[in-house]
Protein backbone atom coordinates (compact mmCIF):
# COMPACT_ATOMS: atom_id res chain seq x y z
CA UNK A 1 0.00 0.00 0.00
CA UNK A 2 1.48 3.33 -1.04
CA UNK A 3 1.89 5.70 1.96
CA UNK A 4 3.71 8.97 2.55
CA UNK A 5 4.05 8.96 6.37
CA UNK A 6 6.26 5.86 6.76
CA UNK A 7 8.81 5.07 4.09
CA UNK A 8 9.25 1.34 4.71
CA UNK A 9 11.14 0.87 1.48
CA UNK A 10 13.71 3.49 2.45
CA UNK A 11 14.18 1.89 5.86
CA UNK A 12 14.78 -1.52 4.29
CA UNK A 13 17.16 -0.08 1.72
CA UNK A 14 19.07 1.74 4.46
CA UNK A 15 19.36 -1.47 6.52
CA UNK A 16 20.77 -3.38 3.57
CA UNK A 17 23.07 -0.47 2.77
CA UNK A 18 24.53 -0.66 6.28
CA UNK A 19 24.93 -4.46 6.05
CA UNK A 20 26.60 -4.31 2.65
CA UNK A 21 28.80 -1.39 3.68
CA UNK A 22 30.00 -3.29 6.74
CA UNK A 23 30.73 -6.39 4.62
CA UNK A 24 32.64 -4.20 2.18
CA UNK A 25 34.66 -2.65 5.02
CA UNK A 26 35.46 -6.06 6.55
CA UNK A 27 36.63 -7.45 3.22
CA UNK A 28 38.73 -4.36 2.58
CA UNK A 29 40.33 -4.67 6.03
CA UNK A 30 41.27 -8.28 5.27
CA UNK A 31 42.83 -7.32 1.96
CA UNK A 32 44.73 -4.39 3.49
CA UNK A 33 45.95 -6.23 6.61
CA UNK A 34 46.39 -9.70 5.11
CA UNK A 35 44.66 -11.05 8.20
CA UNK A 36 41.32 -12.85 8.38
CA UNK A 37 40.86 -11.67 11.98
CA UNK A 38 41.08 -7.89 12.24
CA UNK A 39 39.13 -7.68 15.49
CA UNK A 40 38.21 -10.14 18.23
CA UNK A 41 34.57 -10.38 17.12
CA UNK A 42 35.65 -11.80 13.74
CA UNK A 43 36.68 -15.11 15.37
CA UNK A 44 37.13 -15.01 19.14
CA UNK A 45 38.14 -18.67 19.48
CA UNK A 46 40.49 -18.50 16.51
CA UNK A 47 42.10 -15.34 17.87
CA UNK A 48 42.70 -17.02 21.24
CA UNK A 49 44.38 -20.02 19.62
CA UNK A 50 46.42 -17.84 17.25
CA UNK A 51 47.61 -15.64 20.11
CA UNK A 52 48.81 -18.72 22.01
CA UNK A 53 50.56 -20.03 18.90
CA UNK A 54 52.17 -16.65 18.29
CA UNK A 55 53.56 -16.56 21.84
CA UNK A 56 54.90 -20.11 21.43
CA UNK A 57 56.63 -19.13 18.18
CA UNK A 58 58.23 -16.15 19.93
CA UNK A 59 59.47 -18.34 22.79
CA UNK A 60 60.80 -20.95 20.35
CA UNK A 61 62.76 -18.19 18.64
CA UNK A 62 64.48 -17.45 21.95
CA UNK A 63 64.86 -21.18 22.64
CA UNK A 64 66.72 -21.49 19.35
CA UNK A 65 69.02 -18.68 20.45
CA UNK A 66 69.52 -20.42 23.81
CA UNK A 67 70.50 -23.65 22.07
CA UNK A 68 72.95 -21.71 19.91
CA UNK A 69 74.48 -20.11 23.01
CA UNK A 70 74.80 -23.50 24.68
CA UNK A 71 76.55 -24.90 21.62
CA UNK A 72 78.94 -21.93 21.67
CA UNK A 73 79.69 -22.53 25.35
CA UNK A 74 80.48 -26.18 24.69
CA UNK A 75 82.58 -25.36 21.63
CA UNK A 76 84.60 -22.88 23.69
CA UNK A 77 85.06 -25.44 26.44
CA UNK A 78 86.20 -28.06 23.95
CA UNK A 79 88.69 -25.58 22.52
CA UNK A 80 90.27 -25.22 25.95
CA UNK A 81 90.22 -28.98 26.51
CA UNK A 82 91.87 -29.48 23.13
CA UNK A 83 94.70 -27.17 24.16
CA UNK A 84 95.16 -29.11 27.39
CA UNK A 85 95.24 -32.31 25.35
CA UNK A 86 98.12 -30.88 23.32
CA UNK A 87 99.94 -30.00 26.53
CA UNK A 88 99.47 -33.51 27.90
CA UNK A 89 100.84 -34.95 24.69
CA UNK A 90 104.00 -32.87 25.12
CA UNK A 91 104.24 -33.92 28.77
CA UNK A 92 104.08 -37.58 27.76
CA UNK A 93 106.88 -37.03 25.26
CA UNK A 94 108.98 -35.40 28.01
CA UNK A 95 108.37 -38.36 30.30
CA UNK A 96 109.49 -40.77 27.60
CA UNK A 97 112.55 -38.63 26.92
CA UNK A 98 113.46 -38.44 30.60
CA UNK A 99 113.39 -42.20 31.00
CA UNK A 100 115.99 -42.57 28.22
CA UNK A 101 119.47 -43.31 29.47
CA UNK A 102 121.02 -41.35 26.61
CA UNK A 103 120.60 -37.89 28.19
CA UNK A 104 122.63 -36.26 30.90
CA UNK A 105 121.77 -34.44 34.11
CA UNK A 106 121.60 -31.02 32.46
CA UNK A 107 119.08 -32.23 29.90
CA UNK A 108 117.05 -33.89 32.68
CA UNK A 109 116.97 -30.58 34.53
CA UNK A 110 115.60 -28.89 31.42
CA UNK A 111 112.94 -31.58 31.09
CA UNK A 112 111.92 -31.16 34.75
CA UNK A 113 111.64 -27.39 34.26
CA UNK A 114 109.56 -27.69 31.10
CA UNK A 115 107.31 -30.35 32.61
CA UNK A 116 106.55 -28.22 35.65
CA UNK A 117 105.90 -25.21 33.42
CA UNK A 118 103.41 -27.27 31.45
CA UNK A 119 101.60 -28.25 34.67
CA UNK A 120 101.19 -24.54 35.37
CA UNK A 121 100.05 -24.00 31.77
CA UNK A 122 97.24 -26.53 32.23
CA UNK A 123 96.00 -24.57 35.24
CA UNK A 124 96.24 -21.32 33.28
CA UNK A 125 94.23 -22.75 30.37
CA UNK A 126 91.59 -24.05 32.78
CA UNK A 127 91.33 -20.63 34.43
CA UNK A 128 91.20 -18.56 31.24
CA UNK A 129 88.80 -20.68 29.18
CA UNK A 130 85.71 -18.55 29.74
CA UNK A 131 82.44 -17.58 28.07
CA UNK A 132 81.00 -14.16 28.83
CA UNK A 133 83.23 -13.96 31.89
CA UNK A 134 82.29 -17.39 33.26
CA UNK A 135 84.95 -20.08 33.67
CA UNK A 136 84.11 -23.27 31.81
CA UNK A 137 86.62 -26.02 32.56
CA UNK A 138 87.75 -25.34 36.10
CA UNK A 139 85.00 -27.62 37.48
CA UNK A 140 82.64 -24.81 38.47
CA UNK A 141 80.47 -24.54 35.36
CA UNK A 142 76.86 -25.66 35.55
CA UNK A 143 73.93 -24.07 33.72
CA UNK A 144 70.41 -24.73 32.46
CA UNK A 145 69.12 -23.72 29.03
CA UNK A 146 65.44 -23.39 28.12
CA UNK A 147 64.94 -25.09 24.76
CA UNK A 148 61.14 -25.23 24.50
CA UNK A 149 57.94 -23.42 25.40
CA UNK A 150 57.45 -24.59 29.00
CA UNK A 151 59.54 -24.44 32.14
CA UNK A 152 60.20 -28.18 31.93
CA UNK A 153 61.76 -27.93 28.44
CA UNK A 154 65.31 -27.49 29.65
CA UNK A 155 68.71 -29.08 29.13
CA UNK A 156 71.25 -28.90 31.92
CA UNK A 157 74.93 -28.52 31.12
CA UNK A 158 77.77 -29.42 33.47
CA UNK A 159 81.44 -29.53 32.49
CA UNK A 160 83.93 -31.46 34.56
CA UNK A 161 87.10 -29.74 35.71
CA UNK A 162 90.33 -30.19 33.77
CA UNK A 163 92.97 -28.34 35.77
CA UNK A 164 96.11 -29.99 37.12
CA UNK A 165 94.41 -31.04 40.34
CA UNK A 166 91.45 -32.60 38.49
CA UNK A 167 93.89 -34.50 36.31
CA UNK A 168 95.99 -35.57 39.34
CA UNK A 169 99.08 -33.81 37.99
CA UNK A 170 101.80 -32.34 40.16
CA UNK A 171 105.26 -30.83 39.76
CA UNK A 172 108.22 -33.16 39.32
CA UNK A 173 111.08 -32.66 41.79
CA UNK A 174 113.62 -35.20 40.61
CA UNK A 175 114.30 -36.95 37.35
CA UNK A 176 113.63 -40.33 38.94
CA UNK A 177 109.95 -39.40 39.29
CA UNK A 178 109.34 -39.65 35.55
CA UNK A 179 108.77 -43.41 35.50
CA UNK A 180 105.80 -42.97 37.84
CA UNK A 181 104.76 -39.68 36.25
CA UNK A 182 104.37 -41.33 32.85
CA UNK A 183 101.59 -43.48 34.31
CA UNK A 184 100.00 -40.38 35.82
CA UNK A 185 100.11 -38.52 32.50
CA UNK A 186 98.54 -41.49 30.70
CA UNK A 187 95.76 -41.49 33.29
CA UNK A 188 95.30 -37.72 32.83
CA UNK A 189 94.99 -38.20 29.08
CA UNK A 190 92.27 -40.80 29.60
CA UNK A 191 90.45 -38.53 32.07
CA UNK A 192 90.62 -35.61 29.67
CA UNK A 193 89.36 -37.78 26.81
CA UNK A 194 86.34 -38.69 28.95
CA UNK A 195 85.66 -35.01 29.71
CA UNK A 196 85.88 -34.10 26.02
CA UNK A 197 83.60 -37.00 25.08
CA UNK A 198 81.00 -35.74 27.56
CA UNK A 199 81.25 -32.20 26.17
CA UNK A 200 80.91 -33.55 22.64
CA UNK A 201 77.82 -35.56 23.57
CA UNK A 202 76.17 -32.49 25.08
CA UNK A 203 77.09 -30.41 22.03
CA UNK A 204 75.53 -33.05 19.79
CA UNK A 205 72.37 -33.02 21.90
CA UNK A 206 71.96 -29.28 21.42
CA UNK A 207 72.60 -29.61 17.70
CA UNK A 208 69.83 -32.16 17.29
CA UNK A 209 67.49 -30.19 19.54
CA UNK A 210 68.13 -27.01 17.54
CA UNK A 211 66.88 -28.84 14.44
CA UNK A 212 63.78 -29.94 16.34
CA UNK A 213 63.14 -26.35 17.51
CA UNK A 214 63.37 -25.10 13.93
CA UNK A 215 60.88 -27.73 12.78
CA UNK A 216 58.45 -26.91 15.61
CA UNK A 217 58.72 -23.20 14.87
CA UNK A 218 57.87 -23.78 11.20
CA UNK A 219 54.89 -26.01 12.07
CA UNK A 220 53.48 -23.52 14.58
CA UNK A 221 53.92 -20.68 12.09
CA UNK A 222 51.97 -22.71 9.54
CA UNK A 223 49.21 -23.46 12.06
CA UNK A 224 48.93 -19.78 13.00
CA UNK A 225 48.83 -18.81 9.35
CA UNK A 226 45.97 -21.23 8.67
CA UNK A 227 43.94 -19.60 11.45
CA UNK A 228 44.76 -15.91 11.00
CA UNK A 229 45.96 -15.20 7.48
CA UNK A 230 43.39 -14.04 4.98
CA UNK A 231 42.79 -15.65 1.61
CA UNK A 232 43.49 -12.47 -0.35
CA UNK A 233 41.77 -13.70 -3.51
CA UNK A 234 38.63 -14.64 -1.59
CA UNK A 235 38.70 -11.38 0.39
CA UNK A 236 39.05 -9.36 -2.82
CA UNK A 237 36.14 -11.27 -4.33
CA UNK A 238 34.03 -10.58 -1.23
CA UNK A 239 34.97 -6.90 -1.40
CA UNK A 240 33.94 -6.62 -5.05
CA UNK A 241 30.66 -8.40 -4.35
CA UNK A 242 29.90 -6.21 -1.32
CA UNK A 243 30.80 -3.11 -3.32
CA UNK A 244 28.24 -4.02 -6.00
CA UNK A 245 25.58 -4.68 -3.34
CA UNK A 246 26.42 -1.39 -1.60
CA UNK A 247 26.04 0.56 -4.83
CA UNK A 248 22.74 -1.21 -5.48
CA UNK A 249 21.53 -0.38 -1.97
CA UNK A 250 22.49 3.28 -2.47
CA UNK A 251 20.53 3.38 -5.69
CA UNK A 252 17.55 1.63 -4.04
CA UNK A 253 17.65 4.06 -1.10
CA UNK A 254 17.65 7.02 -3.49
CA UNK A 255 14.64 5.59 -5.32
CA UNK A 256 12.84 4.86 -2.04
CA UNK A 257 13.43 8.41 -0.83
CA UNK A 258 11.89 9.73 -4.06
CA UNK A 259 8.76 7.60 -3.67
CA UNK A 260 6.83 9.87 -1.20
CA UNK A 261 7.47 12.87 -3.47
CA UNK A 262 6.14 10.90 -6.42
CA UNK A 263 3.01 9.96 -4.43
CA UNK A 264 2.41 13.63 -3.56
CA UNK A 265 2.27 14.39 -7.27
CA UNK A 266 -0.97 12.37 -7.39
CA UNK A 267 -2.59 15.05 -5.22
CA UNK A 268 -1.77 17.86 -7.61
In a domain, 252, yes or no: yes
* Distance separating alpha carbons of residues 200 and 81, to the nearest angstrom: 11
In a domain, 29, yes or no: no
Residues 62 and 129 in one domain: yes
Residues 196 and 258 in one domain: no
- For residue 84, CA distances in Å to 73, 91, 176, 218 come to 17, 10, 25, 41
Residues 196 and 257 in one domain: no
Lowest mean pLDDT among 5-9, 32-36, 77-81, 98-102: 5-9
Domain around 258: 231-268
Question: Of the candidates 232, 174, 201, which has an alpha carbon nearest to the alpha carbon of residue 28?
Answer: 232
What residues does 142 pair with on adjacent strands? 158
Residues 62 and 82 in one domain: yes
Instruction: Inform me whether the pLDDT recorded for 116 exceeds 80.
Output: yes
Instruction: Dump the DSSP string for 121-166.
Output: HHHHHHHH-EETTEESSSS--EEEEE-SSSTT-EEEEE----STTT
Residues 189 and 246 in one domain: no
> Contact, 58 vs 143, CB < 8 A?
no
In a domain, 9, yes or no: no
Number of domains in the chain: 2
Residues 183 and 265 in one domain: no
- For residue 24, CA distances in Å to 16, 234, 236 come to 12, 13, 10
pLDDT value at residue 187: 96
Q: pTM above the 0.85 mark?
A: no
CATH number at residue 120: 1.20.1330.10
Per-residue pLDDT tens over the stretch 16-58: 777 877 777 776 777 766 777 766 667 788 778 878 888 888 8
Amino acid sequence: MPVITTNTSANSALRYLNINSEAQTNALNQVASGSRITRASDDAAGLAVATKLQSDVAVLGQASTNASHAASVLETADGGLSSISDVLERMKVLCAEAVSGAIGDDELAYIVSEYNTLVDEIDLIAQTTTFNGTSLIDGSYSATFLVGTSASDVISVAISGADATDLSLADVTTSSDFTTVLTTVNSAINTLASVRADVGAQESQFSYHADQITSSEENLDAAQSAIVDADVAEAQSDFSSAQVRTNAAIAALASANDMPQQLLSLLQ
